[in-house]
Chains A and B, each alone.
Chain A
Amino acid sequence: MSLFVIGYYALLIGASCLAAYFAKRSAFLLLFSLTLASFIMGIVGGVPALRAVTIAAATLALAAGTSYAFREFLVQILPEGISKEIKTAPLTAAFGMFVIFTYAIAGIFAPVIAPHGEAEVISSAFAPADENMLLGADQLGRDMFSRIVYGARNSVGLALVATSLAFIMGALGGLFAATKGGWLDQILGRAADVIMSVPSLIFALLMLSILGTSLWVIVVVVAVIYSPRVFRLTRAVAGNVVVMDYIEAARLRGEGTWYLIRKEILPNSTAPLIAEFGLEFCFVFLLIAGLSFLGLGIQPPTADWGSMVRENATLISFGDITPLIPAAAIALLTVAVNFVVDWMLYRSSGLKE
Chain B
Amino acid sequence: MAEKKKEVLLKIKDLHIEGYSDEEWIEIVHGVDLTLHRGEVLGLIGESGAGKSTIGLAAMGFARDGCRISGGSIEFDGMELTTTPESALRALRGSRIAYVAQSAAASFNPAHKIIDQHTEAPIHYRIQKRVEAQEDAMQLYERLRLPNPHEIGFRYPHQVSGGQLQRAMTAMAMACRPDLIIFDEPTTALDVTTQIEVLAAIRDIVDQFNTAAIYITHDLAVVAQMADTIKVLLKGNEVEEAPTEQMLGSPKEDYTKSLWAVRSFQRKQKPRPKGKAAVPVVSVQDIDAAYGDVKVLKDVSFDIYAGMTVAVVGESGSGKSTTARCITGLLPPTKGKILFQGEELPASYKDRTKDQLRQAQMIYQMADTALNPKVKISDIIGRPAQFYSGLSGGELKSRVDELLDLIELDPSKFYNRYPPELSGGQKQRVGIARALAAEPTFIICDEVTSALDQLVAEGILKLLDRLQRELNLSYMFITHDLATVRSIADEVVVMRQGEVVEQGPKDKMFKPPHHPYTDLLLSSVPEMDPNWLTTLLEERGVDNVGEAANTGGKK
Instruction: Identify the A interface with B (CB < 8 A).
Output: 244-246, 248-249, 251-255, 263-264, 267-268
Q: Which residue of B lies closest to A84 (CB)?
A: B23
In the complex, are the beta carbons of B362 and A268 less than 8 A apart? no
**Do B357 and A264 touch across chains, with their CB atoms under 8 A apart?**
no
CB of A248 within 8 A of CB of B330, answer yes
User: B435's closest neighbor in chain A, by CB?
Assistant: A249
User: How far, in angstroms, from A263 to B383 measured CA to CA in the complex?
Assistant: 11
User: Which residue on B lies nearest to A254, using beta carbons?
Assistant: B357
Shortest Cβ gap from A159 to chain B (Å): 30
Taking a contact as CB atoms closer than 8 A, the residue among A245, A251, A267 that contacts B349 in the complex is A251
Q: Judging by beta carbons under 8 Å apart, are B372 and A267 in contact?
A: yes
Our pick among A251, A252, A264 for the contact of B372 (Cβ within 8 Å) is: A264
Number of chain B residues close to chain A: CB under 8 A: 24
Q: Is the interface of B mostly helix, strand, loop or mixed?
A: mixed
**Contact A253 B384, CB 8 Å, known A246-B372, A264-B372:** yes
Contacts of B20 in A (CB 8 A): none
Pick the most buried of A244, A249, A263: most chain B CB atoms within 10 A of its CB: A249
Inter-chain contact B383/A253, CB cutoff 8 Å: yes
Task: Report the nearest A residue to B434, measured CB to CB.
Answer: A249
The answer on a CB contact under 8 Å between B370 and A245 is yes
Give the contacts of B475-517 with A (CB-CB under 8 A): none
Q: Does B339 count as interface, using CB distance less than 8 angstroms?
A: no
C-alpha spacing A254/B364, complex, angstroms: 17
| Interchain CB contact under 8 A, A253 and B370 | no
Give the complex CA separation of A252 and B345 in angstroms: 14
List 15 A–B pairs whose Cβ atoms lie within 8 Å, in order of A's numbering. A244-B370, A246-B369, A246-B370, A246-B372, A248-B330, A251-B330, A252-B328, A252-B330, A252-B361, A253-B357, A253-B387, A254-B387, A263-B375, A267-B372, A268-B374
B residues 364-406 with Cβ under 8 Å of A? Answer: 364, 366, 369-375, 383-384, 387-388
Q: Closest Cβ of chain B: how far from A87's Cβ, in Å?
A: 9
Nearest residue, chain A, Cβ from B325: A248
Give the nearest-CB partner of B446 in chain A. A245
**With A245-B364, A252-B330, A252-B349 in contact, do A267 and B369 touch (Cβ < 8 Å)?**
no
Q: Which B-chain residue is minimally distant from A268 (CB atoms)? A: B374
How many angstroms between the C-alpha atoms of A254 and B352 in the bound complex?
Answer: 9
In Å, the complex CA distance between A255 and B364 comes to 18
Look across to chain B and name the residue whose beta carbon is closest to the beta carbon of A267: B374
CB distance from B506 to the nearest CB of A (A): 28
Chain A proximity of B146: nearest CB distance (Å): 33
Question: Which partner residue on chain A sits nearest B355 by CB separation?
Answer: A254
B121 is an interface residue with CB less than 8 A from chain A: no
Say yes or no: A245 contacts B366, CB within 8 Å. Answer: yes
Kindly supply a per-residue 1/0 record for chain B positions 424-455, scoring 1 wherever the CB is within 8 Å of any chain A CB and 0 otherwise. 00000000001000100000000000000000
Within 8 Å of chain A (Cβ to Cβ): is B354?
Answer: yes
Question: Do the beta carbons of B330 and A267 come within 8 Å of each other?
Answer: no
What are the 4 A-B residue pairs with the smallest beta carbon separation, nearest first? A267-B374, A245-B370, A246-B372, A245-B369
CA–CA, A108 and B271, complex, Å? 76
Which of A252, A267, A268 is the one whose CB lies under 8 Å from B357? A252
Residue of B nearest to A270 (CB): B374
As a 0/1 sequence over residues 312 to 338 of chain B, the CB contacts with chain A under 8 angstroms (1 = contact) are: 000000000000000011100000000
Provide the bound-state CA to CA distance between A248 and B369, in Å: 10
The CA-CA distance from A225 to B311 in the complex, in Å, is 55
